[in-house]
Chain A
Amino acid sequence: MSIKYIPKDITEETNVNVTRRHPLKNFIYLLTTVVVVSVVIFFALGYTASWLVTRISPENEARIGNLLYDTISETEITDDRRIYYLDELLHNMLNLGENARLPLTIHLIDTEVVNAAIMPGGHVLINTGLLQEVKSENELAFILAHELGHFQHQDPLKSLGRSLVVLSALAAVGVGTSSSSGGLSEVVSWTGEMTILHYSRTQERQADEYGLERITNHYGHGNYSLEFFNRLKEEDDEFYQVSQYFDSHPQNQERINYLSKLAVNNNWDMKGDITPLPNWINCPDMDEMQCEVE
């Protein structure tokens, strides 16, 4: 018995083993699906995390704060009497009868970068670079009051919640996890930085409002407190070593306009005398003998 062999021609049109779809089309479909879904999940998780994180106990916040503070690599100046001055100035910003959510700790950081920040757990970071840049106590006080505002509104915690989600997601797709270093430790230290860097515009605005209100209460007027931002605005074009922190803040002009309007609406006096900074503000341990004359 023999069966006649009649071969059938194979053409690409009849090839059922390869789906006929353009690879680029397929890729674009995949990419959009993945991106859209991730963004949705991202935001949902971010908001949930920042909501949940404001519900942790003060003890836990203090614990998290200490962990995060340990990730900061800059050198801290300890045993410096300027810290007492800064501490007093910061606490003067609180209204009568108002308490900070957690005890506040001042950390004086030895770096040229012009920056101040507050972290969960009440760690207030003040760079020596900022002390060199401020020209009056009013300016310094406003910056401190602004940071205090963030803290009282639990902004550092909320932003911590969100950045943990963001960075865990990044780590999940492999960004920031090199094989040599344990991926997680890198994520934690990034989280520390991100916590300081990122607040929403609304959070910034509320912190500004808080700051100016406290300044007016303390000094009786808001004059000179915004000079710092005026100067930043003027120096925007030049190369100026301002950390990303101030870059991420609302545009300085917009910020000044808004606060001026706010002062008018609230009948806050924007005229008054300058309160100078102590002479030793840039001298280690208040000791003018050790001071480098500029």
Chain B
Amino acid sequence: MENILQVLFVLFLMIIGYLFGSYREKRHFKSLQQREKNTLHLSVANFGNQQALIAEVTETKLIVGSVVISIDYFKKISAILRNLVGGKVIVYESLLDRSRREAVLRMKEQAIEWQAKQVLNVRLETVAIGGRFGGRTDPGSIEVIAYGTGVK
């Protein structure tokens, strides 16, 4: 009886997780697409130390964009099952894709506000927070930080 309750509880959490998770994900992807279009004019480039700095640069600034996104219970259970089988963890692919794009967008939006001409040498860092990522005790979240040098 206790075990049946446990299973029902997990099922309940999964349904909640799936409904809210997929709704938010859909909404987030829509917003990402829109904002990516809006910030498309700002170029992001890599810049080697062998090259001379472009002449018209007068000012530089470190620009950081970061985001923390939580996994939902449905993704968690899917990933646990995936651990047994192996292969692409597609439920986490969308999670990481959203996080990366959101972090870059926040960075770019900040750069645009600062009126940057370009953001140079952008780097991405990922870290798992909130317990073990995909662990048993905590749903866990990921943080993605995008940072680069804004020039104007």
Which residue numbers of A lie inside 8 Å of B, CB to CB?
Answer: 5, 7, 9-12, 15, 17-19, 21, 23-24, 26-27, 30-31, 33-34, 174-176
Contacts and interface: CB of A to CB of B under 8 A. Distances in A.
B81 A30 contact: yes
B41 A27 contact: no
B81 A27 contact: yes
B22 A23 contact: yes
A30 B43 contact: no
B40 A7 contact: yes
A15 B22 contact: no
B18 A24 contact: yes
Contacts of A18: 90, 93-94, 97
B27 interface: no
Given A18-B97, A34-B84, A175-B3, A10 B36 contact: yes
B118 to A, nearest CB: 9
Interface of B: 3, 6, 18, 22, 29, 33, 36-37, 40-41, 43, 74-75, 77-78, 81-82, 84-85, 88, 90-91, 93-94, 96-97, 100, 136
Interface of A, helix, strand, loop or mixed by DSSP: loop
B41 A26 contact: no
Contacts of B75: 23
Contacts of A174: 136
Contacts of B81: 27, 30-31, 34
B37 A27 contact: no
Contact of B90 (A9, A12, A21, A34): A21
A84 to B, nearest CB: 40
Contact of A5 (B3, B43, B85, B94): B43
A194 to B, nearest CB: 14
Contacts of B94: 18
A24 B22 CA distance: 10
B48 to A, nearest CB: 14
A5 B54 CA distance: 15
